[in-house]
Amino acid sequence: MARGKNQNQRSRSYDSDDHERGACEWCEYALVITLATVLLIGVSALTIFWVFYYRGGYAWADDTPDKQFNLHPTLMVAGFVTFCGFSVLLYRICRCFRRIYVKLLHAIFHALAFPCIVIGFLAVLDYHNKKGINNFYSLHSWIGFVAMGLFGLQYAVGFFSFLLLLICNKGTAGFRASLVPIHAAFGILTFVLGVAACLTGLTEKAIFALGADRYSGLVDEGIIINAIGVSMVAILGVVMYILSREKFRPAEARERLTRTSVDL
């Protein structure tokens, strides 16, 4: 389809054009980006604060398995929430660079999440083995396992698609476009499952570390753990809001939406 035809179609399909953004829309755009950035960095910062202030910091040695465990929540929150969150949002709302650079940044943020998730997983596996605790018995571990599997699969599909783009852009355009809605839907699912794994993990940790009596007594540490969870809920809210705002999407991606009916 010729570009002129698309341009014409787009200007009929959308109320305002890219060049005619109002001050109000820019304010909303800036506000949402700021809120998302504060929450995504804040949730990792709060987790690190919790570990240092209440859980004795980090280590990886045979005589301090509890400090080794602390790497697990920190790295999983950084990987599944902070880095994956930035990667998803960046892909959806970044208008500053050409599309190819946005895809590259999307891959880089996921590449940063990858070692966090792997080391975070190894930390808890080794902790369980040192303490003689069974692996994969809890709902948290089952959800985490599914989330990690989906993350790996999505990364492989994304990497393969990006490689195809570099090798043969035009010839693979149709195939890559058909992958987009599936990749996007399962990407959001992976993110939601990553958050669900973190929330169930925080619940487990709060009960194991504080005990039912202290946790129900609303001690400071319990409130901090709950605050980490609520920050993730707020992140889910901001992400859903951004996905619902068609106008936040870069113009090029919106054109593709009109052509191929890509939804998420």
Q: Which residues bind its own copies (CB under 8 A)?
A: 9, 12-15, 133-134, 137-140, 142-143, 146, 181-182, 184-186, 188-189, 192-193, 195-196, 199-200, 202-204, 206-208, 212, 215-218, 222, 225-226, 229-230, 233, 236-237, 240-241, 243-247, 254, 258-264
Least separation in angstroms between CB 159 and its own copies: 20
**In the complex with its own copies, which residue's Cβ is closer, 75 or 197?**
197
Least separation in angstroms between CB 220 and its own copies: 12
Least separation in angstroms between CB 45 and its own copies: 18
**In the complex with its own copies, which residue's Cβ is closer, 108 or 186?**
186
Q: Helix 173-216 crosses helix 251-260 at what angle (to 10 degrees)?
A: 110
Least separation in angstroms between CB 258 and its own copies: 6
**In the complex with its own copies, which residue's Cβ is closer, 111 or 263?**
263
**In the complex with its own copies, which residue's Cβ is closer, 59 or 183?**
183
**In the complex with its own copies, which residue's Cβ is closer, 121 or 191?**
191
C-alpha distance from residue 90 to each of 171, 198, 203 (Å): 27, 22, 30
DSSP assignment of the chain equals: --HHHHHHHHHHHSSS-GGG--HHHHHHHHHHHHHHHHHHHHHHHHHHHHHHHHS-----STT-HHHHHTHHHHHHIIIIIIIHHHHHHHHHH--SS-HHHHHHHHHHHHHHHHHHHHHHHHHHHHHHHHHTPPSS-SHHHHHHHHHHHHHHHHHHHHHHHHHHHHH-TTTTHHHHHHHHHHHHHHHHHHHHHHHHHHHHHHHHHHHHHHHHHHHHTT-HHHHHHHHHHHHHHHHHHHHHHHHH-GGGS-HHHHHHHHHH----
**In the complex with its own copies, which residue's Cβ is closer, 5 or 98?**
5
Least separation in angstroms between CB 78 and its own copies: 19
CA atoms within 13 A on the CB side of 255: 15
Task: For residue 249, give both structure tokens.
Answer: 């999407």
Least separation in angstroms between CB 166 and its own copies: 25
**In the complex with its own copies, which residue's Cβ is closer, 104 or 185?**
185
Least separation in angstroms between CB 111 and its own copies: 24
